[in-house]
Amino acid sequence: MMPAPHGNSTRPAQQPYRMTYVKQVEGVGTRLTLLWFLQRDPRENWRDHFADLDTGVAASGLGSVRFVAPFIPTVPETDRYVDELR
């Protein structure tokens, strides 16, 4: 079972009313962004549920995965995780 009680998907859309200097969005109709909201630290189950998503998508022939990464929030006004950034 996937450890994500909630997920969100979005697709880019052309902006019909935009300033002329703003570039149109590329990949409309071909890109999909998935966000998974976990109840636990992603390091606990990243390898089992998310690390191989690109393999499954490629095998299906439906597309390719360009970026998969966990988000670990910081604790404002602390030095928590600083040692992992260096």
Q: What amino acid occupies position 53?
A: L
Rounded CA separation 44/3 (Å)? 10
The 3-class SS string of 63-74 reads: CCCCCCCCCCCC
User: In whole angstroms, how far apart are CA 36 and each of 33, 39, 85?
Assistant: 10, 10, 23
Cα–chain-centroid distance for residue 69? Answer: 6
Residues above pLDDT 90, as percent of the chain: 6
pLDDT in the model for residue 26: 79
Rounded CA separation 54/29 (Å)? 19
User: In whole angstroms, how far apart are CA 85 and each of 24, 29, 55, 76?
Assistant: 34, 36, 28, 15
**Residue-averaged pLDDT of the chain:** 83
Higher pLDDT, 81 or 32: 32
Would you say the pTM of this structure is higher than 0.95?
Answer: no
pLDDT in the model for residue 15: 80
pLDDT in the model for residue 2: 66
Q: What amino acid occupies position 76?
A: P
